[in-house]
Structure 1
Amino acid sequence: MTSLAELIAQKDELERRIADVRKEERANALTQARALIESFELSVDELFGKKQKAAKASLPAKYRDPVSGKTWSGKGRAPQWLEGKNKEDFAI
């Protein structure tokens, strides 16, 4: 029967060997990837896809100008047609 100390030593040796093999295989994979990228002239966008900006969700209108029909969601700067007026009078 093997002792706990022997098993731990075996485990440590195995983990070291795994790390060495992983490092070597990773280096080989990186060399192959670089060669393919160079030979096919691949771009970052082709490899990983373009990052798309998240579309801004438009907020529903809360206020409407009865003259022009323009609307405002209540967020951001108030429109000129609402300046100096009670916005509740224009609520939809």
Structure 2
Amino acid sequence: MSEATIPIQVEDLRAKASRELESVPDLDGLEAWRITYTGRRGQLTQLLRGLGALPSEERREAGAAANAVRAALEESLAEREDQL
């Protein structure tokens, strides 16, 4: 993984997750979405696990970006849950 691909992967994941979240019809769908993207075996978690192979400076930046996306997705999830 290179420094350039991690932010792209994180941003692509954020965009995809956000699009899918908008179309979730019910609370069961929200739980499935949460598991898919932010759960223990979710896509974002898997991406974070791959950061260990990066050099220290790149890892720090990529980790910060991924954690910011996680926070944004969790906030969006809470907002969508309130809507339903």
Normalization by structure 1: what TM-score? Answer: 0.28
Greater helix share, structure number: 2
Greater strand share, structure number: 1
